[in-house]
Amino acid sequence: MKRVAHEPAFVLHHYDWSESSLILEVFTRHHGRTALMARGAKKPSSNFRPVLLPLQPLHLSFGGDADIRMLRSAEWIGGHIMPTGERLLSGYYLNELLLRMLARDDPHPALFDVYARALALMASDHAGEWLEAVLRAFELTLLREVGLLPALDVQTLTHHPLQSDRHYVLLAHSGLRLAQPEERRQALAASHWLALEQAMQGEQSLQAVMQLCMAQRDVAQGLKQQLRGVLHAHCGVEMLRTRKMMMELQKL
């Protein structure tokens, strides 16, 4: 890849490279997660300084053949304001998931669109009403996009159909299976898993899963516990940094 122009992107994270430059981790629509060098971005006079913000939709132009490419230009394309408070931390949580679970230069345009839509919802005036639903929908989409979410309408190891009167749990390394008695509290009914599988089909999967989670709070709560375990296992951590930060702020 020599040069890319006006690529839709979001800044996920940045690192200091020198006294005046930054290394950016960005999520682009057509090229996936990419590392860029922004020369002079820390200088007060830099055109990059007010633009390279996280959770904001950008158009980036960059080029080069090295692992870290050179950022040529950056333009804020507008669309929504910066989330604040709990919504801001939730946005950083999505960024941490993308950093940990996406390989470099592996495009996921559908996931990019879902991420952009999720951030727009978080920045809206009524985000508090659907924040948890947005997070669950994005987590499911991310796992499905990277090939770590099994079909939710059959038991993973046996491929037996779900029984309507039974409850099931989703685990990182064994997929969807029948819940044991001690797991019943966080398990979901077969009808809920089937509804989630159906909701994830089609282009409006984010909205469909959100509506299901908002209509049935027990589904959202059960998913939260199970997806947390799945994501932590695949990220290789006991607790994500953003979750730890959120817990510390809640104590204050």
- The pLDDT tens digits for 88-98 are 999 999 999 99
Mean pLDDT along residues 174-203: 92
pLDDT at 126: 74
| pLDDT exceeds cutoff 90 at 217 | no
Please name which of 36, 43, 123 lies closest in space to residue 87, comparing C-alpha atoms.
Answer: 123
pLDDT at 1: 59
pLDDT at 48: 94
Alpha-carbon distance of 162 to 185, in angstroms, equals 18
pLDDT tens sequence across 26-48: 999 999 999 999 999 999 999 99
Mean pLDDT along residues 230-243: 89
Mean pLDDT along residues 150-170: 96
Mean pLDDT along residues 162-180: 95
DSSP 47-96: SSTTT--BTS-EEEEEE-SSSEEEEEEEEE--SSPPP-HHHHHHHHHHHH
> Across the strands, what pairs with 177?
169
Mean pLDDT along residues 13-26: 94
| pLDDT exceeds cutoff 80 at 2 | no
3-state helix, strand, coil split of the chain in percent (to 5) is 40, 25, 35
pLDDT band at residue 252 under the 50/70/90 scheme: low
State residue 217 phi and psi, 5-degree precision. Answer: -65, -30
Mean pLDDT of the chain: 92
